[in-house]
Amino acid sequence: MAETEYHVMVQTLEEGLGPWAKKSFENDSPHFVDGTDIFSFYGAAWEKSPIKYRQRTPIQVERDRILYSQGMRKLTEKYHVLYNGQRRIVRSYATHTMKMAQVARAIARGLELNQDFAEAIALGAKVGAVPFVHAAKHKLSEWAGEKIAALDAKSAKESPLTGSGKSQLELDFPEKRIPEFVSTLKSSTVLDKIRRYMPWAAGESGSKLYGSGQEGYWLLCTNPFTNRTRRAQYCPETMYGIWRHSRGLLPATHPFHHKCFLDGASQGYHEITDAHATFESIIVQYADDITWVIENLNDANEVALLNDQQRSVYESLSDEIGEDVDSALQQALSRNDAGGIYSYFINDFITHSSKTLSRKSGGAELRNALTKGTRGAQIGLSSEADELLGRMVRYLDSRIFTEPRTKNRTEMLKSITYACVDLIYDTEVLPRVVAEQSRLGRWNEDAKKAAVDLLADDVHRTQASMDVLATWGDQEIYDFVGIQAL
């Protein structure tokens, strides 16, 4: 399709980006996750409604779509709680996400990367987070694993897996390690349903069936109750960054290949691979951890000061990490200055990574090296700052999260999570949710029928139960299981 006024405008808006930054229109990645052509779609959309897209790039449209999503709004109802003595500090995950997004923007700006794209990934990274995030996520995977194992054992007697089933997996994911919960299946029926009803990726080890990133991708890119794609919504690079937002998940080093067969997709399936890795996605990995560490330290420090303890948390941390650290960081710790700690890590990331990005002038060449896991194409903190961040994590684990009330609350929330998702699966919650969603989304009769019919399938029902849990807030969980909020 020939360039329109919109394509020219977008190129002008993105002129200031470095050659290694993610652009809205790229020859190497011309399709949305569902297979729709990005260039043609926006050309037609501009002709239909130019006011809507004036001075907005496709990447900004994706960012806004995430920002105004229901999942983003629900983050205000999901909380992190710290105890110390008789005090407790509560913050919502919306606060974490907004600060994380600004850290990502600051680093992207310093490296001439796409700030809007980095922000989009950061905002979407927690959209799929379940209530009580860190307490609940592992328990949710455990619950789902038990469900799938039981369904597989029952179904294997009627539809045992033959060699052809394994061959199909090998065709879908050539040279990629299949996760344990998929590779050990014995039922061809269950395997086929997992390929269609559950988001998972080859290359990931273990039996994890839930992660906030993969759930965020699933809720944003699909109607999970009808198992249909949302047409022309997000580019695969956005979803790669959202799914892979945990620090250390580098392309090729930790291989990744997601392929899921969905109704309505232009090519019949979604596919996201390491080829969709970007420098902005690596930034978000670090921004998440930097924000998580500093916000927890700041909360703990506030509690310590309110309890009139002799020494602040920052003073104690300063002693723990020693004096042989950057002077700016030492000064920030001595002043109880969380902003100064943020500045230290942001400036270190920019200074250290600028050296990598300045080695080659060809942006496409450098991006390609990143997707292949080339060591010389990696960006991140300096080894000194990375070690300091790790020591801060260990300090939190050994000195802050071990507070008895915090530990007891975590164990209680694990039990509540398991009980809640079990009730969602076994009761009439799912039909009620489907009815509500059909009214809100104004589904046609075919979509309503498809959603109701799918609930009879236990594999889909397992995933749908996790989907519902991810859309609830903390208080909704307490109300559902019949206890008062703590």
Task: With CA atoms as reference, report the closest residue to 429 among 377, 471, 387.
Answer: 471
- Kindly list the domain boundaries of the chain, sorted by start residue: 5-62, 407-481
Cα–Cα distance, 156 to 178 (Å, whole number): 19
pLDDT tens for the 486 residues of the chain, in order: 567 899 999 999 999 999 999 999 999 999 999 999 999 999 999 999 999 999 999 999 999 999 999 999 999 999 988 876 667 788 899 999 999 999 999 999 999 999 999 999 999 999 999 999 788 988 999 999 999 999 999 999 888 887 766 777 878 888 778 898 898 899 999 999 999 999 999 987 676 899 999 999 999 999 999 999 999 999 999 999 999 999 999 998 889 999 999 999 999 999 999 999 999 999 999 999 999 999 999 988 887 777 777 678 888 888 888 777 888 888 888 888 999 999 999 999 999 999 888 865 567 788 999 999 888 889 999 999 999 999 999 988 888 888 788 888 889 999 999 999 999 999 999 999 999 999 999 999 999 999 999 999 999 999 999 999 999 999 999 999 887 654
- DSSP letter for each residue of 274-331: GGG--HHHHHHHHHHHHHHHHHHHHHHHHHHHHTT-SS-HHHHHHHHH-S-S-HHHHH
Strand ranges of the sheet holding 201-202, from the earlier edge strand across to the other edge:
201-202, 257-261, 269-273
Torsion angle of alpha carbons 347, 129, 273, 123, nearest 10°? -40
Instruction: Report the amino acid identity of residue 440.
Output: L
Write down the pTM of the prediction.
0.94
Cα–Cα distance, 194 to 190 (Å, whole number): 6
- DSSP letter for each residue of 174-212: TT-PPPHHHHT--BHHHHHHHHHHS--EET--TT----H
- Which pLDDT belongs to residue 359? 66
C-alpha to C-alpha distances, 129 to 46, 226, 288, nearest whole angstrom: 34, 21, 13
- Which pLDDT belongs to residue 2? 64
- Which pLDDT belongs to residue 409? 86
Task: With CA atoms as reference, report the closest residue to 288 among 457, 134, 474, 425.
Answer: 134
Q: Which two tokens stand for residue 327?
A: 């002077």
B/e letters for 385-406, b = 16+ CB within 10 Å, e = fewer, are bbebbebbeebbeeebbebeeb
Task: With CA atoms as reference, report the closest residue to 100 among 385, 395, 381, 342.
Answer: 342
**Residue 462 near residue 143, CB atoms below 8 Å:** no
- Which pLDDT belongs to residue 70? 93
pLDDT, tens digit, 9 for 90 and up, residues 19-46? 999 999 999 999 999 999 999 999 999 9
Question: Over pLDDT 90: what percentage of the chain?
Answer: 69
Cα–Cα distance, 239 to 68 (Å, whole number): 17
